[in-house]
A and B are shown apart, each in its own frame.
Chain A
């Protein structure tokens, strides 16, 4: 990443992906649906197959390469981990 800023304005092509990450970060009801059935929840926001696959793998580098904002990737992952394993908050 040397020479490049760590946080760039996301491309319009990644709008749905970032919207999904934002929902995972901030929308408790969506996050609960995602944890219960990730395939159904990602379908709500119209993610394409590659975005969805990267999201389901939790593949940060792939998500960022596809235009996800790194902070949203981080916060979405954190909120999911906090909900799945409440003890993870202790390590934040």
Chain B
């Protein structure tokens, strides 16, 4: 199966807004749906929480868990409405990659296979079967 890895600038300003990421993902989804084969979109990164800063040992795990519940309910488009400032505040600036794939999968409900916090990261594996 062809895999399309998504790369988004998340660490070097000016980063794209989550809205722009979502819009790009939606456009990408339209292009890929026009193709005959099944294709996997892969969005890595996300819940890394402040690497390289003095907040690295203070991850916002509850924010992650609330977000995963939102995605399980099929409300992923809410991520597009989050501002870049909020992502930065919660240490989740890498979620721009998730916002991108969410644009492509629309309102599909996420299968959350796991969420494992470490002392600084939340590690999740999520699939949107569409």
Contacts and interface: CB of A to CB of B under 8 A. Distances in A.
A74 B54 CA distance: 11
B54 A8 contact: no
Interface stretch (B24-32, B45-53, B63-71): B45-53
A46 to B, nearest CB: 22
Residue of A61, A73, A74 most packed against chain B (CB within 10 A) = A74
Given A6-B88, A6-B91, A1 B53 contact: yes
Interface residues of B, number: 15
Contacts of A8: 13
Contact of A7 (B11, B54, B56): B11
Interface in B34-68: 50-56
Interface of A: 1, 5-9, 60-61, 64, 69-75
